[in-house]
Structure 1
Amino acid sequence: MDNTVTWFEVATDDPAGVEQFYGDLFGWTFAPADGPIDYRTISYPGGGQPAGGLYNTEGRFPNHALFHVQVPDVAAACARSESLGGKVLFQEIGGEGPGTDFAYVSDTSGNLFGIFHQRS
């Protein structure tokens, strides 16, 4: 399914900015989780239940995230990411025929993630 991954976590010292970035890029929504820390569950459009979490590090340790999101068009997702303040660090787009288009991108907080599309 496009724009989804399995459970993952994004840790950042700027949860509001990162929440806006992923919300605008993939349509993800965020909800506060119960507990003593600032942790927000992440849900995909039409996903039915949370699939990940956003953790506020409050600057206590480095920002981090590493996950891969399936997208319908890697080049378009890279362009959209850059327009939202992200950076494309690497991309390999093979064109026609079977194979995988792939990119490493960083979000507005510097977190690295992958995007891919499996061509048939």
Structure 2
Amino acid sequence: MNSIVYFEIQANDPQKSIEFYTNVFGWNFIKQDGLPIEYYRIETSGIEGGMFKRPAETPPLNCGTNAFTCTMEVENFDAMADKIIQNGGQIAMPKFAIPGRCWQGYFLDSDHNVFGIFQIDHSAK
């Protein structure tokens, strides 16, 4: 109980976001028919999630987020950051050390949703 078991991503253009997350993280998206909204189930190697068409306007850039931010653990921060940029993502907060724990950074996906990546590195300073 009280553990995160599911996440959702809102997107103005779900197909563009599906392409982004498939190319960057290798996630699988399955359209869910019979719902009152356009909805896709997301299969990852960790927790499952969903994506749906954003029901309100996209928050303007540089205003922070009004949601929980998901962070993915990656093997190589720099290689993943390059892959994110190559697939249309943007840097929201550059790589920084959490001393003795990991490298962390935040990005914007192709629909301006914020997400993070981190690489465990106990020597990070």
Percent identity over paired residues: 27
**Structure 1: 5+ residue runs without aligned partners?**
none
Matches within 5 A, 1:104-119: 104-119=106-121
Q: CA deviation at 1:119?
A: 1.5
Q: CA deviation at 1:101?
A: 0.3
- Of 42, 46, 49, the match for 1:52: 49
CA–CA distance in structure 1, aligned partners of residues 56 and 70 of structure 2: 22
User: Quick one: distance in 1 between partners of 2:104 and 2:5?
Assistant: 17
* AA at the equivalent of 1:60: A
Cα offset for 1:92? 2.8
Q: How many residues align?
A: 110
The amino acid across from 1:110 in the alignment is: H
CA distance in 2, matches of 1:81, 1:90: 13
In the other structure, the counterpart of 1:25 is: 24
TM-score by length of 2: 0.76
**Which structure 2 residues correspond to residues 27-46 of structure 1 after superposition, within 5 A?**
27-34=26-33, 35-45=35-45
Higher RCO (CA-CA < 8 Å; seq separation 6+):
1
d(CA) in 2 for partners of 1:92, 1:61: 29
Q: TM-score, normalised by structure 1?
A: 0.79
Report the Cα distance in structure 1 between the residues aligned to 2:107 and 2:23, rounded to whole angstroms.
15
In structure 2, how many angstroms separate the alpha carbons of the residues matched to 1:108 and 1:70?
20
Superposition CA RMSD, Å: 2.4
Task: Map Cα deviations across residues 23-77 of structure 1 (whole Å, 9 max, x no partner).
Answer: 00000010112422111110025x5xx60010112x6332677211111111111
- Offset, 1:99: 2.1
